[in-house]
């Protein structure tokens, strides 16, 4: 019997393929095979918010392969990930494949990729959970509506290409509000006091001022501090007061969920949430560890549950007994309580086999994978161990000051009694000084006489709240009920990719664009981007998953609120109807010029005016953007309006006159630009590039850099008689330097683009000889060619900095004889220093 098993990724397909027999054909769907269209809303709001799904850009060949395989399969197993997104992928696969086969389709899920888990999943085949599918579909439609209908408001008022997101914008709001709290913070002075006491036998211990007259205190100035010190020094002789000693238990933290793994990896390993999930995915999908094929090393990494399978817990307890001793086992197995919304059927993130210790896995994992695996393994093992036991000793020394005040100084010391879980998960060692002081405190008895050896004071200032790290922001989002395990990394990546937030020294700092976007959204749509409202929407998505609410009913309820909010936001900066009406009336008798075609677009002033006028007559509204466009038209036809402008309200007169002055200035610049363009031999300039072979397009972050396409756009513009801007000329200069070795007339290019060094060389020799090879650059590139371990790419704002990619690009340019710019040479030298490559012979 032939069986078809469909998973998302090729890595998972390869790992599972070595675990199942020859009866199975395993194909990767490469994620979603259908999604909402990229360039349109794709949601029929009028018909129950029906999504208009289309094939994804890379799915056509995959779907063709899947359909062919389905026709010959006797059974089809849909095995995407065990979460909302995976369930939706399975549903889309079923929708597509049901038309190609009559064979049964089964849903199978597993939380770890091991032979036993896969075989068990195949025997427990079931059906697609439509509640999960509905919850995913609701989130997708909800996010699409918010993104597509709110983002255009930002394009016209903040910056073209900026975007709003239902959850990302709330995360941005948290970062911006924290930054504003920091900026508004006013530090307050306070003083702390410490007394070093000496016992009768010469031993010393340090205390801190704890209470004054049994109450909390604040000393806010140096003058107060001096008075306090004088009162204590002149007070009654000190003696040991109450001494207490108590045993304290510290219990192990639960095994990791997605959010706690991301937080801890960020804090301990300095991994971003995105990189944490990347390495976790690799560990989950399978690593070759020399056991006859790849195997998954951890359970599924998108989870909010701390539940542990009984078999895994029993294996952990057995391992702890053997590796550390029976005394490290708890009196009864540890169990941890899930949060209310957690999915009990899921497991926490844990190693699939506790006996695969980090030391045993080290030869098979790269350093980044190994660090994360070690963190997961230690946390899991610790979670099943006995608590750590400590002895906490507290000593108070009460001094009656000569000011009739009673000053209580306190010292505390913690002594480890039993390491418990901390033997695995954290370093329980104490410094020698701490241990010595603990011994001193433990030997003291009430009434023992003391002398003051030293009195220390320190001026301090209150500190502002700290900036969010990725770990802290994830914790804040989780505590507020915003986002879910599968979304935290995406939220953080999005606000950084959009250049709303920069990460500097591990802290998240809003950019100017981030401030502007946040302020606009919070001002215009405060209810939508409210933390509480976003959390309630997450709860409603959970209720859809639980089958308590219909997804279309939830969407209808949301849209009933959202629609008027959006309408108010669109019209909040609209001009008063009387001003709009007066401006439209002013333009009513203008003799508009004939339509003008520029490139692919046709500009028709009369048609545009009439469309706005007719809409205004219909609903009495006009947007701020339309009002500005009408002012531009009034400026253009100013000579026809002189006699009637005086009848306009004063504010409108001023607006029309300002627009006319701006229009005149713009026309003057355009005429100057055209005159300058006519004097430049653009035909000769661009002809010099005829033999250039441009590099293929490269994608960096959201942007694709295509030299050929950019060059041709400049060429069309210049040959159409439009002067290039200074920025465009600068870009063309860089391109000329980059491809200098392929130019047919470098001297002409240098002269027109005013490239000084190259122009001078051309004048002195009569031709532009290629630059001599730079031996220093050659040595640097040769040294970098031997680097075997490149640093991980770093994301800053919208850009990704990849050392290896940069080196390969520079090496290719140098090999082709192209001249490197000063900035490229400087960056190359900096990189060489980073990898200890020397430029000297």
Contact, 73 vs 2, CB < 8 A? yes
Which two structure tokens, joined as six digits, stand for 108? 């199978």
Q: Encoding tokens for residue 394?
A: 């507290």
- Which residue, 675, 673, 677, 671, is CA-closest to 752? 677
Cβ atoms of 216 and 424 within 8 Å: the answer is no
**Which of 245, 243, 241 has its CA nearest to residue 398?**
241
Output the CA–CA distances (angstroms, integers) from residue 430 to 96, 414, 433, 434, in the order listed: 62, 9, 8, 6
332-335: Cβ within 8 A, 24+ apart: 333/384, 334/251, 334/252, 334/383, 334/384, 334/385
Beta pairing, strands 3-7 & 75-78? parallel
CA 587 to CA 606: how far, in whole Å? 10
Question: How many whole angstroms separate alpha carbon 651 and alpha carbon 655?
Answer: 6
- The question of whether 300 is a catalytic residue gets the answer yes
CA atoms within 13 A on the CB side of 391: 13
81: Cβ contacts below 8 Å, ≥ 6 apart: 8, 89, 300, 302
Tokens of 22: 């020859």
* Rounded distance between C-alpha atoms, residue 758 and residue 468, angstroms: 49
Could you say which of 106, 271, 284, 300 is catalytic? 300
Contact criterion met (CB below 8 Å) for 259 and 231: no
Contact 379, 262 (CB under 8 A): no
Query: 211 Cβ partners below 8 Å, 6+ apart?
Result: 217, 407, 408
**Which residue, among 751, 756, 772, 731, has the nearest Cα to 688 in the 3D structure?**
751
Residue 435 tokens, joined: 């241990």
Give the Cα separation of 624 and 648 in Å (integer).
Answer: 19
SS3 at position 509: strand
Sequential DSSP letters for 423-475:
HHHS-----HHHHHHHHHHHH--TT-BEEEEEEEEEEEE--PPPPPBHHHHHH
Q: Which of 486, 264, 270, 507 is nearest to 368 (CA)?
A: 270
* C-alpha span between 379 and 426 (Å, rounded): 9
Tokens of 458: 């320190």
- Residue among 608, 605, 611, 610 at smallest CA distance from 592: 605
CA distance 809 to 628: 46
> What are the C-alpha distances in Å from 173 to residues 164, 217, 523, 539?
11, 36, 12, 20
Q: For residue 679, what are the CA distances in angstroms to 507, 718, 759?
A: 52, 12, 19
Q: Count how many Cα atoms sit within 13 Å of the Cα of residue 609 in the half-sphere of its side chain.
A: 23
* Catalytic residue annotation: 300
């Amino acid at each position: 019997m032939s069986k078809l098993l469909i998973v998302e990724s090729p890595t998972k397909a390869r790992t599972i393929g070595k675990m199942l027999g020859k009866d199975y054909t395993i194909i990767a769907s490469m994620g979603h095979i259908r999604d909402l269209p990229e360039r349109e809303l794709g949601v029929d709001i009028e018909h129950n918010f029906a999504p208009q799904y289309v094939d994804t850009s890379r799915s056509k060949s995959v779907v063709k392969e899947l359909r062919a395989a389905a026709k010959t399969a006797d059974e089809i197993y849909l095995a995407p990930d065990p979460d909302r997104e995976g369930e939706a992928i399975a549903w889309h696969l079923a929708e597509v494949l049901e038309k190609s086969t009559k064979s049964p389709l089964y849903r199978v899920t597993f939380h770890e990729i091991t032979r036993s888990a896969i075989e068990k999943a195949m025997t427990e085949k079931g059906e697609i959970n439509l509640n999960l599918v509905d919850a995913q579909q609701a989130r997708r439609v909800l996010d699409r509506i918010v993104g597509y209908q709110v983002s255009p408001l930002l394009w016209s008022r903040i910056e073209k290409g900026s975007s709003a997101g239902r959850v990302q914008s709330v995360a941005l709001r948290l970062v911006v509000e924290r930054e504003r709290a920091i900026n508004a913070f006013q530090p307050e002075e306070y003083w702390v006091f410490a007394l070093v006491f000496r016992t009768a036998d010469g031993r010393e211990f340090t205390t801190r001022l704890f209470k004054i007259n049994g109450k909390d205190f604040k000393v806010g100035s140096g003058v107060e501090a001096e008075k306090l010190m004088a009162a204590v020094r002149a007070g009654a002789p000190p003696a040991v007061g109450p001494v207490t000693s108590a045993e304290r238990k510290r219990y192990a933290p639960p095994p990791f969920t997605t959010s706690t793994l991301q937080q801890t990896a960020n804090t301990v390993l300095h991994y971003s949430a995105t990189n944490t999930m990347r390495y976790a995915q690799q560990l989950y999908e399978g690593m070759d560890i020399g056991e006859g094929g790849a195997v998954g090393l951890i359970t599924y990494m998108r989870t909010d549950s701390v539940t542990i399978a009984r078999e895994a817990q029993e294996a952990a307890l057995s391992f702890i007994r053997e590796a550390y001793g029976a005394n490290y086992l708890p009196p009864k197995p540890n169990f941890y309580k899930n949060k209310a919304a957690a999915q009990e059927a899921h497991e926490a993130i844990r190693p699939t086999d506790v006996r695969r210790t980090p030391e045993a896995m080290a030869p098979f994992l790269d350093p980044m994978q190994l660090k994360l695996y070690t963190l997961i393994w230690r946390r899991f093992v610790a979670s099943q161990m006995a608590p750590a036991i400590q002895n906490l000793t507290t000593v108070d020394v009460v001094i009656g000051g000569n000011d009739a005040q009673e000053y209580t100084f306190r010292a505390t010391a913690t002594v480890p009694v039993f390491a418990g879980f901390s033997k695995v998960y954290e370093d329980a060692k104490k410094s020698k000084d701490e241990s010595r002081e603990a011994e001193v405190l433990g030997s003291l008895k009430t009434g023992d006489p003391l002398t003051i050896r030293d009195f220390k004071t320190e001026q301090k200032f209150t500190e502002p709240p700290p900036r969010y790290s990725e770990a802290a922001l994830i914790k804040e989002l989780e505590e507020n009920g915003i986002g879910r395990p599968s979304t935290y990394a995406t939220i953080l990546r999005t606000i950084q990719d959009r250049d709303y937030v920069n990460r500097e020294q591990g802290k998240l700092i809003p950019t100017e664009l981030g401030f502007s976007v946040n302020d606009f959204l919070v001002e215009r749509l405060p209810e939508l981007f409210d933390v509480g409202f976003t959390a309630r929407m997450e709860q409603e998505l959970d209720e859809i998953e639980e089958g308590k609410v219909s997804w279309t009913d939830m969407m209808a309820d949301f849209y009933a609120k959202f629609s008027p909010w959006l309408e108010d936001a669109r019209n909040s900066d609209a001009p008063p109807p009387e001003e709009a009406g007066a401006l439209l009336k002013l333009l009513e008798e203008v003799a508009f010029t004939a339509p003008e075609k520029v490139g692919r677009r046709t500009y028709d002033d009369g048609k545009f005016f009439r469309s706005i006028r007719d809409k205004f007559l219909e609903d009495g509204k006009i947007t701020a953007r339309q009002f500005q466009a009408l002012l531009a038209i009034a400026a253009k036809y100013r000579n026809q309006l002189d006699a009637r402008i005086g009848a306009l309200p004063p504010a409108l007169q001023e607006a029309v006159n300002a627009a006319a002055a701006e229009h005149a200035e713009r026309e003057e610049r355009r005429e100057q630009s055209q005159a300058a363009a006519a004097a430049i031999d653009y035909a000769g300039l661009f002809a010099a590039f005829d033999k250039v072979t441009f590099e293929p397009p490269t994608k960096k972050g959201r942007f694709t850099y295509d030299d050929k396409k950019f060059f041709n756009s400049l060429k069309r513009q210049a040959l159409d008689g439009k002067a290039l801007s200074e920025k465009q000329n600068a870009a063309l200069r860089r391109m000329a330097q980059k491809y200098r070795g392929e130019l047919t007339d470098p001297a002409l290019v240098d002269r027109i683009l005013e490239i000084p060094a190259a122009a001078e060389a051309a004048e002195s020799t009569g031709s532009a000889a290629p630059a001599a090879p730079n031996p220093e650059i050659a040595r640097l590139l040769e040294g970098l060619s031997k680097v075997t371990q490149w640093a991980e790419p770093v994301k800053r704002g919208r850009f990704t900095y990849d050392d290896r990619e940069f080196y390969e690009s520079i090496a290719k340019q140098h090999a082709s004889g192209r001249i490197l710019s000063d900035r490229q040479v400087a960056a190359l030298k900096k990189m060489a220093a980073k990898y200890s490559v020397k430029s000297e012979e």
